[in-house]
Amino acid sequence: MNRKQSIWLVPLMLLLSVAAHAQAPTLASTLKIYVFPTEGQDATQQSKDEAACYEWAVGNTGSDPFKVADQQVANQQQAQAEQQAAKQVGAGAGASGAIKGAAAGALIGEIANDDSSEGAAWGAAAGAIRGRRKAAQANAQAQQQAAAQAEQREQATEEQLTNFKKAFSVCLEAKDYMVK
């Protein structure tokens, strides 16, 4: 081996050594929970304890945080679909209101001055305005309702995740780890 090759070999060996000692993320760190072994437990023991506490927490809370994450994605998709559906509430109400208004206006115009066409025109205009106004109110109400339902689902999944983290942390603390 010549001198140029050995100059590159030392840093490469150092890099490989560091990479070999780098640890994969622990279960706790994946859940954004910080765990410190207070009794000198090694990484293998900590992994076993975290796995046992994970199972215990799932069993006692009924929530698996990885399934909760999938549930959050499904909730977001459902909320988007509900918002799209809410936007469709009241579609065509202006035309429907115009037809109803025209019919009522024609009847009133015929009775009032024997001119149903003028009454129908006024009735159609008033009906269209009224129909659009009602549609806008119904649309706003539907969107508020969809947003409220989405918020309730989000709070429920957050509560499930919080309860799981509490149970997981209590278990690890019982096994002599400091948990934050």
- Ranges of each domain in the chain: 22-179
HSE (CB half, 13 Å, CA atoms) of 120? 8
pLDDT of the residue at 37: 95
pLDDT of the residue at 55: 96
- In the numeric block, which tokens belong to residue 84? 């799209």
Structure confidence at residue 4 as a pLDDT band (50, 70, 90): low
**Is residue 21's pLDDT more than 60?**
no
Residue 177 in contact with residue 49, Cβ under 8 Å? yes
pTM of the model: 0.58
User: Does the CA dihedral 71-77-80-82 come out positive or negative?
Assistant: negative
Residue that the structure tokens 């009224």 belong to: 130
Q: Where are the beta strands (DSSP E) in the chain?
A: 35-37, 177-179
- Give the model confidence (pLDDT) of 123-139 as tens digits: 666 666 776 777 677 77
- Give the model confidence (pLDDT) of 88-97 as tens digits: 765 555 566 5
How far apart CA 110 and CA 113 sit, in angstroms, is: 6
pLDDT of the residue at 76: 78
Structure confidence at residue 69 as a pLDDT band (50, 70, 90): confident
Angle between helices 93-113 and 116-174 (to 10 degrees): 150
Q: How many whole angstroms from its chain centre is CA 177?
A: 32
**Is residue 38's pLDDT more than 90?**
yes
**Is residue 171's pLDDT more than 90?**
yes
